Structure 1
Amino acid sequence: MASSVLTAPEGVVWWDSRRYLWLAGLIPPVLVVVAYGLWHQTGSGLWWWLTPFFVFVQVPLLDATTPQDPRNPPEQVADRLQADRYYRWAAFLYLPLTGVGLVLGCQAWTAGGLGVLGRAGLVLSVGAVTGVGINAAHELGHKRERLERWLSKIMLAPTAYGHFYVEHNRGHHVRVATSEDPASSRLGESFWRFWPRTVAGSARSAWRLEARRLRLRGRRVWSARNEVLHSWALTVALFAALAVAFGPWALVFLAAQAVIGFSFLEVVNYLEHYGLARQPTAAGRYEKVDPRHSWNSDAVISNLALYQLQRHSDHHANPTRRYQALRSFADSPQLPSGYATMILLALVPPLWRRVMDHRVIAHYGGDVTLANLAPHRRAQLLARHGEPTASA
């Protein structure tokens, strides 16, 4: 049986002190089940705010009061750590719990008796669960095993964001930290301006990538082999089944939670590469992706809740590396707090700019021209921060 103590052939012994804490990622969907039970017993819609309170209040507070941990597992035990199937099941379990949450959410939405506050809490609760579910799908979608790729597609169905499977793997990872990437935010660009650009741009990019793949193979674009259509069909089937079970009124709830869910993903995308840019080479291409091109955080609680997504530089360098083995790099730009806190800041552009813009400029040694600049604010940023002198 797998153990939290790993021994490498070289004699290196390492103990994963967080082994069972990785189950913290399952807390949001479990809280939806708890909230349903409490609402059903008491009739109070306030219980539906349990999950938003955990995600947007408790996790940021825990991040702020828990020391960050930049330690990495020794490379000598990395293969054995990644081979331990316990960690896969810690991610797999998110899918059935999300399914339970969707069913209970539809039941509560269509049963009546929920006021405006209760409905808002319900949508935010289930939307937060399906949004974090995209992160679980992200973890599984990069892996080579067929089962994990299928589970990734199914996990994306509740948010109608199945095209993420194509765009993220074949688009974002190729174009990250460039002006061509719809999922890389630019210095001076607010989240609210980034949101429509990335939502529409990612869908267009996924379709173009998949159409190109099929044409190169001599296949029709509009066919069952189209992975974008296939993923969207899973959403249609899921929503249709729930509408049959709970009535067409459930579709309003499903659409609302889907928007919250994929917006949760996009606000994370917004902060992961904000203002960071890969520089063009003499050959006319972009430099290779390295740790400098992703914002990272060693906030412990957010890392546990998000399957260590915050060690984002290592993920881009090694997309198939499993979450439990991702490393923190000293030369990665660091966020001032964990993702949970930074998400809240991103929703308030003046606060976000106050906290992050000077960090982006400092990352480039004061040379703002090296950053990925929002075109509509380029002149303003150059006027404010100045172009570098020849001596600089």
Structure 2
Amino acid sequence: MSELTASSGVGAPAYRDRKRYLWLFSVLSPALALAGPALYVLVSPEIFWLWMGPGFFYLIVPLLDYLLGEDLSNPPEAAVPALEADPYYRRITYALVPLLWLNFIVSAAFVGTHDLPWYGVLAVILSAGGTLGYGLNLGHELGHKKPQLERWLAKITLALGFYGHFFIEHNRGHHRDVATPADPASSHMGESIYRFVFREMPGGFFRAWDLESERLQRAGKSLWSLDNEILQPALISVVLYGTLISLFGLQLLPFLLITAFWGAFQLTSANYIEHYGLLRQKLPNGRYEQCQPHHSWNSNHLFSNWATLHLQRHSDHHAHPTRRYQSLRDFPDLPTLPNGYFGMFLVAYIPPLWFRVMNPRVIAACDGDVRRIHFEAAKRNQLMRQYGLSEESPQASAA
């Protein structure tokens, strides 16, 4: 199917995805990490080439999001089956897998064969770690799908950053517990990203092992068998990292470990901003209400959505996890971020600025109802006083 021609209704014109070829930015953007080392080798050995990737993602992309604005359009539901069946969109995700592997291996080889100053190595770490962040995003998209090919491609991609447990933790843990106190990957109002990381990373790792252990036990299989879906990508990681160290020496190990951490921190950064301060309500039966679009922060900013497979339409994703990226929707009155993810990452890295920007937005998104705000427990009373919130009234008074 070279072009989508599904009708959006009787007598309606055929639907055409105007973003069809813009999704190629999801392939081109991570490829930028290869540009720096290539220009360093082919043009001139100048360190500034290596900073092109980080500069693009953390300076240019937020500016593009600001200038290009937002896309509020949705595909008509009648066109969604054909849109999701179109192999073009899957081919984009498939093409990303070898590209990300090539990107990471070339970055490691470049550092292993060049005598770079620390700030040159740092630039490559940020670029290569960003590539691993893309891998986690791709693993996120593919890991939700039912075909075994896509699920295995997710594991292969997650193995790049030694983060294969995400395949279990996200699908069976985070989606179940999101926006509740049981979820280590949902951040609290008043919690800084630097506090969050010490809760989210180990919490997700141990929850993944608990979930997989329970599954294997029910199936009557050993935790240490190859049926363990955490061990499967972990073995790929061991072979990959072991091969790189054998080729370029043990001195490459710090680069690999720090790069893997930075890649994981990109996921942490996304988790931090995606559900900040939002809380699902516990029902009389002790269960939590079903996850709805308003339990996630949404962003419709154009360029960063093109570059991340619509990751930022996170509200629809959590409400409908198996829906493919090209058909994710916007909804009215969603909690909305003021910029795309890359811009919001920068804000999150400066906690006072983050709190100044986001805390009032949390209150507005929850209509001042403290029952719907996921407070950092130790700061609850302080934040309620600061923003004029009351246990008795669902409305925030003027701060």
1:4 CA drift (Å): 4.6
SS at the partner of 1:19?
Answer: coil
8 Å CA contact 1:5–1:16 kept in 2: the answer is no
Residue 64 of structure 2 aligns to a residue whose secondary structure is: helix
- The whole-number CA distance in structure 2 between the counterparts of 1:193 and 1:39 is 37
Q: Which residue of 2 aligns with 1:29?
A: 30
> SS of the counterpart of 1:93?
helix
- 8 Å contact 1:4–1:19 — kept in the other structure? no
2-structure distance, mates of 1:8, 1:238: 47
Q: Confirm whether residue 231 of structure 1 aligns to residue 233 of structure 2.
A: yes
Q: Is 1:97 the equivalent of 2:99?
A: yes
Q: Which residue does the alignment assign to 2:307? A: 305
Q: Could you tell me which residue of structure 1 aligns to residue 171 of structure 2?
A: 169
TM-score (norm 1): 0.96
8 Å CA contact retained: 2:65, 2:301:
yes
362-371 or 137-146, which moves further after superposition? 362-371
Of all paired residues, the percent bearing the same amino acid is 44
2:305/2:312 contact within 8 Å kept: yes
Return closer, same or farther for 1:340/1:5 CA change in 2, 3 Å cut-off. Answer: farther
Q: Contact conserved, 1:28 with 1:54, CA < 8 A, in 2?
A: no
Aligned counterpart for 2:280 among listed residues 262, 278, 281: 278
Q: Is the 8 A contact 1:28 1:129 kept in 2?
A: no
> 1:38 is matched with which residue?
39
Question: Using a 3 Å threshold, how does the CA distance of structure 1 residues 383 and 320 change in structure 2: closer, same or farther?
Answer: same
Of the three residues 319, 332, 335, the one matched with 1:333 is 335
Out of 246, 254, 257, which is 2:256 matched to? 254
Whether the 8 Å CA contact 1:30–1:97 is kept in 2: the answer is: yes
The separation in 2 between residues aligned to 1:60 and 1:202, in whole angstroms, is 29
User: Which digits, 9 at most, give the CA deviation of each residue in 1:292-350, with x for residues without a partner?
Assistant: 10000110111101100111111111111100000001132111111111111011100
| Counterpart contact for 2:304–2:341, Cα < 8 Å | yes
Task: Encode CA deviations 1:196-228: one digit per residue, 9 max, x unaligned.
Answer: 100000001000001111111222222221111
**What root-mean-square deviation, in Å, do the aligned CA atoms of Structure 1 and Structure 2 show?**
1.5
- After the TM superposition, which of the residue ranges 141-150 and 235-244 deviates more from structure 2? 235-244
Q: Is this contact kept in 1: 2:101–2:157, CA < 8 A?
A: no
Contact 1:46-1:117 within 8 A present in 2 as well: no
In the alignment, which of 377, 386, 389 is matched to residue 386 of structure 1? 389
Rounded to whole Å, the distance in 1 between the matches of 2:137 and 2:10 is 34
Matched residue, 2:208: 206
Secondary structure of the structure 1 residue equivalent to 2:15 = strand
Alignment partners' CA distance in 1, 2:41 and 2:5: 43
Distance 1:391 1:345, change over 3 A: closer
Gaps of 5+ in 2: none
Alpha-carbon displacement from aligned partner over 1:160-192 (angstroms, at most 9, x marks no partner): 110000000000000000011010000110000
Tell me the secondary structure at the aligned position of residue 277 of structure 2: coil
| AA matched with 1:343 | F
Q: Which residue of 1 aligns with 2:364?
A: 362
Residue in 2 aligned with 1:2?
2
